[in-house]
Amino acid sequence: MRDGRIVAHGPPDEIVTSNALEAVFGYKMPVEQIAGRPVALHFL
């Protein structure tokens, strides 16, 4: 969600992407598959 609106809907493998995260948070994060699940790698 961003600004109270749904940004993406579907299975995690399809919606947890760098582009989708950029749309929500304002910057791209790399997304890797770990144990069969998408994980956003956010580094401060």
H/E stretch holding 31 reads: strand 31-34
Distant-in-sequence, close-in-space partners of 5: CB < 8 Å, separation ≥ 6: none
The answer to whether 8 touches 29, Cβ cutoff 8 Å, is no
Residue 8 lies in a domain: yes
What's the sign of the alpha-carbon dihedral 26, 34, 16, 4? Answer: negative
* Residue 15 located in a structural domain: yes
pLDDT tens-digit map of 2-23: 888 998 899 999 999 999 999 8
In the predicted structure, residue 34 carries a pLDDT above the cut 90? yes
| In a domain? residue 14 | yes
7 in a structural domain: yes
Domain span including residue 28: 1-37
How many folded domains does the chain comprise?
1
Res 40: pLDDT? 92
Asked if residue 43 is part of any domain, the answer here is no
Q: Break the chain down into helix, strand, coil percent, rounded to 5.
A: 25, 25, 50
Whole-number average pLDDT of the chain? 90
